[in-house]
Amino acid sequence: MKQNIGRGEFSQFPNLSQTSCQEDDVSTYVQHLNDLYSDFESMFEDILTMEI
């Protein structure tokens, strides 16, 4: 999904697909998504590496 947002493709969000966004705004949103992903990876590292 973040790749789609980075390319300006908002097909998952019908309301957003009808609007235009500035490139700076989109890159900021993508950076926030990357930061959130990194935070979740570090917070749940023990669960992600658990062997069952």
**Confidence at residue 27, expressed as pLDDT on a 0 to 100 scale:** 83
Q: The tokens 């309301």 sit on which residue?
A: 15
Q: Are 26 and 5 in contact (CB under 8 A)?
A: yes
pLDDT tens for residues 32-46? 989 999 999 999 988
Output the pLDDT for position 3.
Answer: 66
Residue 20 has a pLDDT of 72
* Cα–Cα dist 3/10, whole Å: 10
C-alpha distances in Å from residue 10, one per residue of 14, 30, 52: 7, 13, 37
User: Measured between alpha carbons, how far is 24 from 14 in angstroms, rounded to an integer?
Assistant: 21
Mean pLDDT by groups of 10 residues along the chain of 52 residues = 65 71 80 92 88 84
